Structure 1
């Protein structure tokens, strides 16, 4: 399990990239701090994952590939309000770090906060993934 205790309690803000964070912002911060990887900024706000971004991730045409067995630093995507629009960072053993408008950054079980059917999938960062073709959204 990765230690993300330093992020617990960081305040939430829609579209937040620091010092307040949303779900994508907190994942970006951990990737930068722990792995030295600068994940892309996404525009728009629907808990940061725009429809276009989540569609690309789900289709495997972004820098993420779907995995069956999540490991630390993978992300779990949730289908909330009928579409994929929230993620958490897997830290290990069924736990994730995430931030929502109802809570600041916190650790919770990813199979506990939403019902199982709300998990859209687990994704692993893959910088060698080919970019989407123009007009493929």
Structure 2
């Protein structure tokens, strides 16, 4: 059984008031810490998606993440619905590859690239942690 299976279905929460509910960034932070040993910073104001997207884009921590293609297990996936990235998930190499993410209205889901597109998401890029 893949380590991510028990996470599927955990609820979404704007404040990411885990350990049992998350916004997208808090979910990625939790998974990166628990499964990959990577400590990521908090991003404030999760209620404003544009502010969160800008904060993620401009945060100094981004310098530690290199854009890669193709992705590998555990890489972060930056997603957008318009011009600006506003969502993040984690690449998993199961079922042909896909993104584990916590989406508003759905909670934690695993979606292959075709399902992401059907839900309006465009992959902005794949990012790998570089200590």
TM-score band, normalised by shorter chain: 0.7 to 0.9
Once the two structures are TM-superposed, the CA of residue 73 in structure 1 deviates from its matched residue by: 0.4
CA distance in 2, matches of 1:71, 1:9: 23
Q: Which residue of 1 aligns with 2:5?
A: 5
Bigger Cα displacement from structure 2, 107-116 vs 70-79: 107-116
CA distance in 1, matches of 2:107, 2:121: 24
CA distances 1:15-62 after superposition (whole Å, capped 9, x unpaired) = 3151310111111111121122221111122288431322458xx953
* Equivalent residues in 2 for 1:66-81, closer than 5 Å: 66-81=67-82
Contact 1:15 1:48 in 2 (8 A): no
Q: Which residue of 1 aligns with 2:124?
A: 120
CA distance in 1, matches of 2:124, 2:26: 19
- Residue 109 in 1 paired to residue 109 in 2? no
RMSD: 2.7
Residues 117 and 44 (structure 1 numbering): CA distance in 2 closer, same or farther, change over 3 Å?
Answer: closer
> What is the TM-score with the length of structure 2 in the denominator?
0.80
CA distance in 1, matches of 2:81, 2:4: 24
For structure 1, the residue ranges without an aligned partner over 5 or more in a row are: 128-137
Q: Which residue of 1 aligns with 2:21?
A: 20
CA distance in 2, matches of 1:72, 1:48: 28
SS of aligned partner of 1:11: coil
Aligned length: 125
CA distance in 2, matches of 1:47, 1:39: 20
**Higher helix content, 1 or 2:** 2
> What is the TM-score with the length of structure 1 in the denominator?
0.77
